[in-house]
Structure 1
Amino acid sequence: MNLDSYIAEKINLINDKLDKYLPDESEVPELIHQSMRYSVFAGGKRLRPILVIASSEAVGFNAEKVMPTACALELIHTYSLVHDDLPAMDDDDYRRGKLTNHKVYGEATAILTGDALLTKAFELIAFNATLGINEKNIIKVLGEISSAAGSQGMVGGQVVDMQSENKSIGFDTLKYIHTHKTGDLFKASVRAGAILANASDKQLAALTEYAEQLGLAFQITDDILDVEGDAQVIGKAVGSDQKNQKSTYPSLFGIDQSKEMAYNSVSKAINALDIFGSEADRLRKIANYLTKRKV
């Protein structure tokens, strides 16, 4: 199966599970459940849950058994986007080609929607214990994802990102922002799938290196797309980094060097998987995809 077919199959599976796990729009209070579903099903690549699945498969595990945690990572990611788009943050009108949550439901509901999605995510991770997963592994995953999403992970990266607006920052600060704002959740996704699948220490170390390089490559290409991307294809306005006067890889290194840095990170990610055979081919193809993505 080629990568496009694999991703399409997994997206369908993830969406089916998300539909099952999320409260129906008719459940009281209807407004919050409608809002949650609006943002979750607005589209998206489902890359983080796919990484949970693919890393578990690389260790020889059944993907169905990690689906609650895979879906949890998508809920955490979606919550972060809902809050990112708020007027107090990036103040964006469109996300994934649709009006942002606060434009449809108002700022107060958007804030509560993010809160509800984040809280639901941890319920799903705990629910994973009902599928025969070792409870010690569930506890470890809960701890790692909590850290990756919190003040020393994604939230911390967002804080430094906001503090750095309208300022000239150095590479160390930019690296901190990207490592935590984006990279930590990528690493948590890959490690979660591996941990739930009982990966060995050697396998987990290799997958961790892969994830760290993958997260860096993703953020560099995201910065590039904000300069060169097509808003119709991406589904949101381009040039927002420049509008908010944010330092990015292209602003510090230029487009050509940024592309080279992304390519080097992808190469390192793929090399990290040398201990695996064909069972990790999906992870290799996902890394290669990052150098060519348009969205």
Structure 2
Amino acid sequence: MSDQPQMDFQASLAARAREVETVLADLLDARAETGEITRPERLLAAMRHGVLNGGKRLRPFLVVETAALFTRSADLLDAARRVGAALECIHCYSLIHDDLPAMDDDDLRRGQPTVHKAYDEATAILAGDALVTLAFDAITSDRTALDPLAKVRLVSGLARAAGIGGMAGGQALDLAAERDAPDEAGIITLQAMKTGALIKFACEAGAITGGAGAAQVEAMGEYGAAIGLAFQLADDILDATASTEALGKRAGKDAQAGKGTLVALHGLDWTRKQLIGLVDQAEALLAPHGIRAATLRAATRFIATRES
């Protein structure tokens, strides 16, 4: 990829991030919504610390850009931003909880203290809990201009992607991997759940929000599954090769914890070849969309070649 397309993609990613952060800041405003009593100041501050702290906003980006493949409606693209913000709330909750001493025990996230370090462990747990409920509130809100059936599909899909058979289950498998290293199939399952499930959902959610048909939603889910695994392989490579300063979080922690990864199992060269294959698979799934998928093609390559 030439420098110019990469620069154009970075600009698109940053622009989408700003749009979604506007929605996130609104969702995390101090005002109480209808049905709420009050928003405790310290809890809200911890939630904002865990969410409004930078980050690429890749998952909401994928929601919005996938929706844009199927619609040009301003209302539906606004709904996609709100769905993307909901997904980011789930992602950020998972980071807050993963960083806790009982889980991955990290002190640094996105270059700043983790929520339990900036506040305390109990507040971090509650901040994550509240972000989960806020995510579903955002999707079902009257301000999200989607028909009720689409909202039900999104709520169901997000619940399954984030729950026992998705991200949370993947984290459980990840913790178990510290005690008993999985084989290749086990590692792929773990990664598809812990990291891939929310990325796959992002692409499915964008297609649903954009009004795509069932076959198109399925195809975008396959695309999301491919780039989800690519994201995790790139993450494993970075964990093995990059510095803590470059990552904005502790580097080398998988090896230190003795966790099974494909890098540990097969080495860097094998993993990089697999990454190339996943990029090719993802780009083939975008081919029917032609030039309209140019930004998602750039996203695919970004995921595979990112440096943090």
- Structure 1 and Structure 2 fold alike (TM over 0.5): yes
Matched residue, 1:96: 110
> Alignment partner for residue 30 of structure 2, among 24, 37, 40?
24
C-alpha separation between the residues in 1 aligned to 2:279 and 2:164?
Answer: 27
Matched residue, 1:78: 92
- Cα shift at 1:131: 4.1
C-alpha separation between the residues in 1 aligned to 2:22 and 2:293?
Answer: 25
Matched residue, 2:242: 229
Kept after mapping to 1: 8 A contact 2:20/2:82: no
Q: What amino acid does structure 2 have at the position aligned with 1:135? A: P
Matched residue, 2:152: 139
Within the alignment, does 1:161 sit opposite 2:174 as a pair? Answer: yes
Q: What amino acid does structure 2 have at the position aligned with 1:11? A: A
C-alpha separation between the residues in 2 aligned to 1:204 and 1:32?
Answer: 37
Q: What amino acid does structure 1 have at the position aligned with 2:51? A: V
TM-score in terms of structure 2 length: 0.92
SS in 2 for 1:147: helix
After TM superposition, list the pairs within 5 Å mapping 1:145-224 onto structure 2: 145-224=158-237
C-alpha separation between the residues in 1 aligned to 2:290 and 2:16?
Answer: 21
> Alignment partner for residue 60 of structure 1, among 47, 68, 71?
71
Within the alignment, does 1:35 sit opposite 2:46 as a pair? Answer: yes
Kept after mapping to 1: 8 A contact 2:60/2:84: yes
- Cα shift at 1:60: 2.2
- Cα shift at 1:206: 2.0
SS in 1 for 2:305: coil
Kept after mapping to 2: 8 A contact 1:52/1:189: yes
Matched residue, 1:5: 11
Unaligned runs of 5+ in 1: none
- Cα shift at 1:251: 0.2
1:53-105 Cα shifts (integer Å, max 9, x gaps): 01000112442232211100100000000000000000001010001110111
SS in 1 for 2:306: coil
Kept after mapping to 1: 8 A contact 2:227/2:300: yes
Within the alignment, does 1:119 sit opposite 2:133 as a pair? Answer: yes
Within the alignment, does 1:46 sit opposite 2:57 as a pair? Answer: yes
1:202-236 Cα shifts (integer Å, max 9, x gaps): 32222111111000000001011101112112101
Within the alignment, does 1:245 sit opposite 2:251 as a pair? Answer: no
C-alpha separation between the residues in 2 aligned to 1:113 and 1:182?
Answer: 21
Could you tell me the percent identity over the aligned residues? 37
* Distance change >3 Å, CA 112–CA 131, structure 1 → 2: closer
**Matched pairs, number:** 294
Two-structure CA RMSD over aligned residues (Å): 1.5
